Structure formats: C-alpha cells, structure tokens
Amino acid sequence: MSESGIEGWDEEFDVVVIGSGAGAMTAGIVAHDREADVLLVEKAERYGGSSAMSGGSLWVPQSHFMAEAGIEDTREEALSYLQEITAGQVDLAKLEAYIDHAPEALRYLADHADLKMYSMPAYSDYYPRAKGSKPGGRSLDPETFDARSLGDDLLSMQDQNAQMLVMGRLFMTIPESRTMLTRAPGWVRLMLRLMVRYVLDMPWRFKSKRDRFLAMGNSLVGMLRQAMLDRGIPLWLESGVSDLVSEEGRVVGIVVQRGGQPVRVRARKGVVVAAGGFEGNQAMREKYLPGPTRVEWTCANKKNTGDLIELARDLGAGVEFMDEGWWGPVTVVPGEANARMLVIEKSLPGSIMVNKAGRRFVNEAAPYIDVVNAQYEDHSDEAPCIPCYLVFDARFRKSYPVGPLLPGAQQPDILITKMLRDGYLKRANTIAELAVKLGVDTANLEETVARNNEFAKTGKDLDFGRGDTVFDRYYGDEKVEPNPCLAPIETAPFYGMESFPGELGTKGGIRTDARARVLTEEGEVIEGLYAIGNCSSPVMGRTYAGAGATLGPATTFGYLAARDLTAD
C-alpha cells in the first residue's frame, strides 16, 4: 500500500476495475455509460475468470424474465427468504439493496448490453421449505451466444470448465444438460444437433477446437465482452495489481505490473476490486478455510490468489466470512486442470456417498454447499470423511455420466481401463470387495447399501430425506419410481470414487456496505475503494439462495458500485 507515494502517473482514467469476470465487466459497462473513462485490468492471460468457467446463472428475484415466464414474485417474499436463510448474519440494508436493485441491474444489462437470459421455471430455490422461497424462476440461465461476432478475441476468453461441456467440447445450456444427463426424451436428437452445429462451423474448425456457440458462463461473459468491445472499453491482460495507492485516506489509483514494468494508473473517481477469491492460494486456504483443504479441490480460477484482499487489508479494510466457500463435493480427475463438482451424479438414483466407516452422512441430493458442510462436520481423525466415496452399481454406470465418464452405454469399461488401472475409479464384483478396495468398513458398507435398497422400494429415505423436496428431485430421474432420487445398488460390478470438499470459489472477503463501498473493521468507509464478487463479503452470508447466487450479487453490486462512484 502506498500513501501519497506517487510522483506523477503513467496513465489516468476515471474508473479502474480490477478483474474481468461478470461483475467487473458490468461495473465497467455501467460506468462507461455514465460518461466515465474506464479501464479493466486482469492478472491472468485470459479474461472472464471464474465467471467464464461457471454455470453462468444469475439468481435474481422479481426479474422481468420471471414476469415474461408468467412467474409471480414479490419483494416481501424474496426478502423473507434471504432473511431466513442468512439467519441474521448479513446486514438488512445489504439484503434490501440486493433485492431492490438486482432486477434493475438485470434490466439495464438487457436493455443496454444486449444480455439475453431466460427464467428456469423448474429450477427451485435451494431451500424450498424456507418462507418466501419459489419452486422456480429466480435462477436465470444465459441464452446461447453466437461468439462469431467476437472473432479471435474469443481465444482470449477463459475456457469453460470441462464438466459443463459435452465430450469436453460442445456447449449446452442448463436445461439441455439436464435432458442429456438424465437421458430424458429427445436427448439423442439434442446430442446430434449440438454435434452437427459444431462440425459445420467452418472455417473456424481449422483454427480452434473451441465451440463458438457459447452457453453457461462463457455465454454470459461473451455477451458482456461484446458490450465492452462495442464501447471500446480497454482491457489489459497479464496486468497484475501490486499496489493500491491512497492519498489522505482516499484510494486514488493502482500500480500494475505490465510487461515486466510497473505502470502507475490514476483512478480519478475510484477503484472497483472484482478480482475473485483466494481459492488458488494454498497458504490462505490453510489460514482461513476449514481443513483439510487443497487448491487441487477447487473448480474455480486458480489465478485467484487473494492478492487484492491482502492489499485492501493493508489499507485498513475489514474482512468477513473468510472461512466460507461456495462449497460442493468434487472429484479430482488425473490430468485435468480443475476439479469437477458432483452436482448431478449425487442426486441421480442408485448412488450414495459414504464416509470411511462405510456410512452415509448426508442427503446426497441436498444443495451442494450442504453436502460439504456435512462432510466437514462428519470428519474426524477417528472417523474420516475426507475423502468420502461415491458408490454406485452397473445399472447406474450404464445409465448416467459420472465425473469425466460418459454413461457405460456409450463408454464401456473397456474404454476406461487406464482410470481403473490407476485407481481413479474402483471396481469390484461384490460390495465387500469394493469396501476393501476403497478402504472402508466392509460390514457397514454392506449394511448401508442394503438399507438404501429398502428405501428405494418404499421411495422414502428414513435417514436423510433424499428426494423429499422439489430441489432434490430436479436432477433426479423422473423415469424412476416411486422416488426419482432413489434406486437400489444391486447389480454387479460395483464402483466407487473419492470425493473431496471443493468449491466454486472462496466466499469471504473485503467488508462492504450496501453501495459496495469498502469498510474498515470499525465500519468506516474507505473513500474511492469498492469491492464486489468473491473478493468481497457475501450478501448470501453462509448460505446459497439458489443457482446464480454468486454471479447475481456480483453483477448487481458491480452495477451499484459504478453508479455510486459516478454519481458526481
């Protein structure tokens, strides 16, 4: 941190935004439209950050997209829901700011940045029993974006996480992924359509393997990037911030390491920090997160190393919820850059998750944040739950994808011998033999599987209530009765794989107010400094309202930060 240490500036802008994810781009677009001269700086060699790697959903109550889908929502319902699930741990003013301005921010991006989203009527809020929840509609998915308009700029975008692509190559929307992964009616026709569209994209196929018909996080970032290009907003890549510069307690600029040289950039109106969390920093993970924890378990951008959180703390900024993450159980696939979150596999009928003792410890179909919280709560030196184990049988293996594996009907075991030989996937002819290979208690695992099989017959999970809520059933298999999330594990061979407590990004960060202004530990405003996204304290607190509860707030508070610092 520098205090009045700059003798002249190399560059000057009204607003400097640190980061290039959805929140950062939103802040830049809105500030530009309010007649500010804007610069975005990005440490990585590619733009988009964890936003580009994500599902791309936005959780926005009362949106015009909900209304267009015929779904009613009210401010009172949305606020009641957030108040109940955040349990008084987030300032009411911040909750109200989000509820009141998220629809406004979304409307602005739709009208002025050509952001195209659609409401998902069947995608429930994560806690359907909470007051004010909705059985669907608040989670919005980006429409497919034709990135041919980006030209070669697409090649500078962060790749989508591989688990969200068909065969690691083709994009699909969230509803399409549900159709594909549960093999719902029409899935073969859908697969053929995606493949034909990809193959016929000539002459691009000779230049790159990337699919230009973007979905999920790449689509969201692609639309916002197009809006930036249309406005001529500069974006510096490979430009890490090494210092926040202040004068008389006000942040007035940054020092960027660009091309191996320090570049002093003045920000006449203010600086917006949108640089992501600290998921790529093992030392910070060990300092703040529950243990054990590993960088290898994240699904997010490993270039996010918490640099700006530490720089803001040097200026006196407070931090909140540093022990939290956007948790989810993951599988670590050898040779892949990021972990894969087990979102769908854990909900489909015929799989269970067990600890080292061979016992279930959670409703596997629950929100992924709850699965990891249960994993940490269940973990001890005497009875480890890290890793836990996803256990399933031949019927499940044949019918559904698991981690990097396609359904056995398309990718039989003979085509995955290396994964079996190297131990990533364990296979056995009996449950007892599988228990030995996994290193779990044999008698307990046999008993646990037998109990699951009884639950499958009745359709009622008496231990954890799997399949009892509309959220549980979203990724169930509607062809399976009486409970789409429960099926017997009884057909040999049997399989198991390790699962670790991973995340979509760390959650805690710089303390902020309802206008995204950075606050000290004492609650005083640090003038000229704003923070949004995963480097800021989450409006969701320790919970997760629904799909898009990371990017919904990031874009909303990016919008609010831009409006606030350009208000004069």
Query: Token pair 């249960």 is at which residue?
Result: 374
Q: What percentage of residues in the chain have a pLDDT greater than 70?
A: 98
In a domain, 51, yes or no: no
Q: Within a domain: residue 215? A: no
Contacts of 317 (CB under 8 A, 6+ apart): 510, 511, 518, 519, 520, 521, 526, 529, 531
Q: State what percent of residues in the chain have pLDDT above 90.
A: 87
pLDDT band at 168 (very low <50, low <70, confident <90, very high): confident
Q: List, for residues 418-448, the tens digit of each pLDDT value.
A: 888 889 999 999 999 999 999 999 999 999 9
Mean pLDDT of 282-293: 98
Domain limits for position 460: 328-503
pLDDT value of position 88? 96
Question: Tens digit of pLDDT for each residue in 185-223?
Answer: 888 888 888 889 989 999 988 999 999 999 999 999 999
The pLDDT score that the predictor gives to residue 2 is 57
Which residue type does 523 have? G
* pLDDT bracket for residue 163 (50, 70, 90): confident
Average pLDDT, whole number, for the chain? 95
366 in any annotated domain: yes
pLDDT score at 5: 52
Is residue 402 domain-resident? yes
Q: Is residue 414 part of a domain?
A: yes
Does the pLDDT value for residue 84 go beyond 80? yes
Q: What is the pLDDT of residue 454?
A: 98
Question: Tokens at residue 314, please?
Answer: 């040097």
Average pLDDT over residues 231-253: 97
pLDDT digits (tens, 9 = 90+) for 300-338: 999 999 999 999 999 999 999 999 999 999 999 998 989
Q: Say how far apart CA 152 and CA 202 lie, in whole Å.
A: 14
User: Distance (Å, rounded) from C-alpha 156 to C-alpha 154?
Assistant: 5
The total number of structural domains in the chain stands at 1
Tell me if 260 is assigned to some domain: no
Task: Kindly state the helix (H) or strand (E) to which residue 272 belongs, with its residue range.
Answer: strand 261-273
Burial call 165-181: b when 16+ CB within 10 Å, e when fewer: bbeeebbbbbebbbbbb
Q: Tens digits of per-residue pLDDT, 15-60?
A: 999 999 999 999 999 999 999 999 999 999 999 999 999 999 999 9
CATH number for the domain that contains residue 437: 3.90.700.10
**Taking a C-beta distance cutoff of 8 angstroms, is the pair 346, 371 a contact?**
yes
220 within domain boundaries: no
The pLDDT, as a whole number, for residue 165 is 85
- 455 in a domain, yes or no? yes
pTM over 0.85? The answer is: yes
pLDDT at 1 over 80: no
> How many Å apart are CA 227 and CA 37, to the nearest integer?
15
